[in-house]
Structure formats: C-alpha cells, structure tokens
Amino acid sequence: MPTFEYFKPPAMLLRVYSLVVLALDLITLFIGIWFSVIVALFRTFRPPPLKNLTGEVAMVIGAGRGVGREIAIQLAQLGVNVACIDVNVENCQATVERALQFGKARAFICDVTDKEQVSHTVHAINSELGDVTILLHCCGVPSPRALIRDPPEIKETMDVTVFSHFWLLESLLPRMQELGCGHIVVLSSVAGLSGGASRGRQIPLSTAQFAVQGLAESLHTELRHTNTNIIITLVHVYPFIVGAEVAKDIRLRIPSYFGTMPAAEAAKRILDGVRRNYAEFSVPGYLLYLGHVLRILPKKASFMLRDLLDTGVDFG
C-alpha cells in the first residue's frame, strides 16, 4: 500500500511568511492610525452635526444645583423627558419647575449611594416617563466652594462619585442593551486627568475622579464589542469652571486661560459634546490635551508645568 508524505516547508520559509504577515499587519495599523488622526483633526475644525434628542428620556443625577440643574433645564428645552434626581427635595423641585416651562420633567428623590433606592427610582421613571435612554451623572464633580472650604469624607466621596455608577448601570444597562441604544454620560473633574496639589485634604476627590475615568474607559471597551448602539461619553470638567459665584475666593495664576464660567455655559458645552457623540472631551476643550501632555512628560517636568498653572487653591 503506497504511503504519502506531507510536504513540510522549511523553517526559513515559515519565518519569512511570519515576517511578511507581521509587516502587512503593521502597515495596516499604521495607515489606520494616521487615518484616525486625520479624521480627528478634521473634526476639530468641522465638528459632527448635533443629534436630535426629541422624545428621549434622560435621567440627570444631581439635578438640584450647579451643572446638573442647568443640564436638566436645557434638556427640557431640547424636547427631552427629564427625570431630575437629587437628595434635596426643594432643590430638585425648583429645577423641575424651571424645566417645566420648556418641556416635560419630573422630580425623583433618590440617594444614588443606596442600591435599593436606585432600583426603585429607575422602575418609577420607566413607568412614568418611559425607558431611560440617556444617563447623565453630574453629582460626582466637586464644586469650587467644596474644594476650597470643605475637606472630603473618604467613604462618602467614593460612594457618591464611584459606587453610585455601578448601582445605576446595574439598573439601566440591561434595558438599554435590550433596546439596542442608549447614551451614558459620566462627568468627572479634570483631577481625573492629572491629579492635584492637595496636601492630603483632597486626595479622596482626586482618587475618585481617576476611578470614574477608569470606569468609563472600561465600559467603553466592554460595549464596543457588542452589537448594541450604546454610547459612552466621559466629560472632564475643570473644578472652577462653574464657580463664578465664588470667583473672589480663587486666585488664578493665568486668568485668561483658567477663569470661571457660569453653570449654564458649561452645561451647553457639555450637551453639545454629548449630542455629537464624543467619546471623551473636556470643558474647556483644551484641558483634555493638557492632561494628556502631563501624562507623557517626565514626572519632574509634569510637576513644573502644574506649578506654573497653579490656581492658588489646594487642588490642581
């Protein structure tokens, strides 16, 4: 009975084949990276169009004051059904009364650090307003007054800023996946980009902001492999950007670059970025790139740049 011997290519041929495949992969990767860079540069000068949010149901965490309040009001102006979430009854109701002048809004009092309360509140929103398609978590960004005067409590800071995201996602994400759409917006202090000169008092705040950034990046990585059209947006907000009322308490090293901004203006910029489906951006926009530069530089050079941009407050 005849026997057949399989052809075995020489080791050198296999090595050449592997090198050719690797070279093709690197060329493809190089072209893809440069194409992405060109598109990003083009989008800097020609941003994507603003998407229509009419009829969406948005859950705004921390709607009682500051940026959260302005975001809730402006969402109502855009035709969004807004669920205003806060622990302060009076503040939350005041936001709803203002939002009702432009659209549909309801107040829901909820402690987002309590898993059971979050689940009950989401169920109530789904019943009264419809399935939540937009989540905006605004209560983790520290206010200028808190940064200057109030030392943070570690557990409370982590509960509000970090753990609450998990309870919200646990209640909202499965339904978004069933619907095949959704937009999750996470607001973080720019401390999540570079940290700050805290002298110990603000370390919990900075740590929490880094954790929020990691959560958003992990969630984005997880969901991009699914077929659902769920968008993750991470927004870095400069700590003093919404504190015009306490501007007198802040010494700015370079006022023309690091001034204060009314909460309404900050909310508009945030919603513009959300409506353009940006994965990550900052308010103001250049701070995102500054944060990346601080990471690339050697530590000593990074500290020197932070000292130059010192705000005069124990938080950078």
CB 20 within 8 A of CB 86: no
- pLDDT for the residue numbered 11: 74
CB 171 within 8 A of CB 61: no
Q: Tell me the pLDDT tens digit for each residue of 231-265.
A: 999 998 875 555 444 444 444 455 545 556 788 88
Which residue in 92, 40, 29 sits closest to 63, CA to CA? Answer: 92
Q: Tell me the pLDDT tens digit for each residue of 6-47.
A: 556 677 777 888 888 899 999 999 999 999 889 878 877 888
Which is more confident, 162 or 242? 162
Q: Tell me the pLDDT tens digit for each residue of 109-128.
A: 999 999 999 999 999 999 99
Domains of the chain: 53-308 (3.40.50.720)
User: What are the C-alpha distances in Å from 201 to residues 79, 96, 283?
Assistant: 42, 35, 24
- pLDDT for the residue numbered 290: 73
Kindly report the number of other CB atoms within 10 A of residue 96's CB atom.
23
Respond yes or no on whether the N-terminal peptide bond of residue 142 is cis (omega within 30° of 0). no
Which is more confident, 159 or 98? 98
Q: If pLDDT is split at 50, 70 and 90, which confidence band does 316 have?
A: very low
CB 59 within 8 A of CB 70: no
- pLDDT for the residue numbered 4: 56
Kindly report the number of other CB atoms within 10 A of residue 7's CB atom.
5
Q: What is the pTM of this model?
A: 0.79
CB 142 within 8 A of CB 189: yes
